[in-house]
Amino acid sequence: MTDQTTHVFSIDPALTRRFYINGDWCLPVREAGSLPVVNPATEQVVANVAKGTALDVDQAVVAARAAFTHWSVSPVASRVRILTRLHELMLERNEQFAQALSLEMGAAIGFARTLQVPLAAEHIRVVRDLLPEYPFQQVENGTAIVREAIGVCALITPWNWPLYQITAKAAAAIAAGCTVVLKPSELSPLSALLFAQLVHDAGVPAGVFNLVNGSGAEVGEAMASHPDIDMISITGSNRAGALVAQAAAPTVKRVTQELGGKSPNVLLPDADFARVVPLGVMTAFRNVGQSCSAPTRMLVPRARLAEVEALAAATAESILVGDPASPDTVLGPIANQAQFNRVQAMIASGIEVGARLICGGTGRVAGLEVGYYARPTIFSDVEPGMAIAQEEIFGPVLCILPYDTLDDAVAIANNTVYGLSAHVQGTDLNQVRAVASRIRAGQVLLNHPAWNPHAPFGGYKRSGNGREFGVHGFEEYLETKAIIGYEPT
């Protein structure tokens, strides 16, 4: 635990009352009230953002549609210059963004400075670097295959990685020649307002990027159903993703979804347990477990169960939970009260059905009675069918599941409606790769590799459709046109 300290960040109230539309900060078309932003470390309201309506979405779409005419045919060199400036400014403003993230969602300030902001900046750099060499037109056998910007794109981003998900979507869309209307999560909108100001300061042409704050039920639905929006990309819950797809269906727009996960971490018998168990715990608990790709199911050989439990419990108990403004904190609070309540309910359900609690449990962290601080929690002897092994908890809760054979391990790994991510650990790389090839997931990580911003990210099954990051994420924002009978000049 750490002593309570103070964030140095504050945001201009004039920005929180406005939306960024057509290159300017605009008041809502009509007054619709505001949405409170709560600091999860103090449970106090730190800002109120304007609540948008379908009328504000209409304004933003008109601006984006007008800007698309010229931005979609802008020279690649112009887009590269803009993206370069965006990248430079984000790195220059790292501290401002980090403070905003820590305040609005409880990210530990060290984590925000070294991961949340720099990784968000990487998404900009990656698409900037791929643009000059990307083959927007190829001619084969008298047919030109042309890749063109899809149009006006609506982006809906979550509260758990607010800036990271904004840049993953917006940078790719802008690089492709699309124009954007962004609805950030109403629970963590401050970093999005800072990003809109960054866009303005970078010289992005008016109308190319627009931001409307508001609820999913109103602003999100208006975007999904809007006839002049060509594509919608959402990162969020399965429920939100399904509602967006339903609203988008009548206009037959492209819908890409990055939704939930319940990722397995398969420890093979020859793995270096002293290394991979602590890494597995910390990876599962990164961002307080609030990551859709978090490997929250650790599958281990039954004969090594006691050894894994000891290593995992020791790791969890060493984690410093406390005030996110302190540089010593590893895990801050859960990002909001509703999610804190869900985490508590899921822990209680695990205890009720007989999973063996080896550390943590329900209740707040001792000494932190104010703030949504959850205890790092590990269950063992978890049955694959238990709710804690099937449902996305989105908190610092790890399930250890024993297996008897590799076939058993693969079956348990795939025994979920999700298929976003997976991990496999082992010394025999041939065996590690063989197991990875049998797991139904969009991304499989072997032996805790370094993060690769070029690797496509997205899910099988109910984890969504489409991909983000790198060239695969970039191509989601392109249409394919065939010009037959084309003769090159």
Q: Which of 26, 153, 178, 292 is catalytic?
A: 292
Q: Which of 122, 186, 221, 258 is catalytic?
A: 258
Q: What is the DSSP string of 68-105?
A: HHHHTTS-HHHHHHHHHHHHHHHHHTHHHHHHHHHHHH
Spatial contact of 267 and 298, defined as CB atoms under 8 Å apart = yes
CA 38 to chain centre: 20
Distance of alpha carbon 102 from alpha carbon 340, whole angstroms: 17
Q: Tell me whether residue 258 is one of the annotated catalytic residues.
A: yes
CA 385 to chain centre: 27
Residue ranges with strand state E in 63-170: 137-140, 143-149, 152-156
Q: Tell me whether residue 479 is one of the annotated catalytic residues.
A: no
Distance of alpha carbon 301 from alpha carbon 238, whole angstroms: 31
- Reduce the DSSP state of residue 192 to 3 states and report it: helix
- Reduce the DSSP state of residue 205 to 3 states and report it: coil
Distance of alpha carbon 45 from alpha carbon 64, whole angstroms: 32
Distance of alpha carbon 469 from alpha carbon 473, whole angstroms: 5
Nearest to 69 by CA among 228, 247, 293: 228
Q: What is the residue type of 98?
A: A
List the catalytic residues.
258, 292
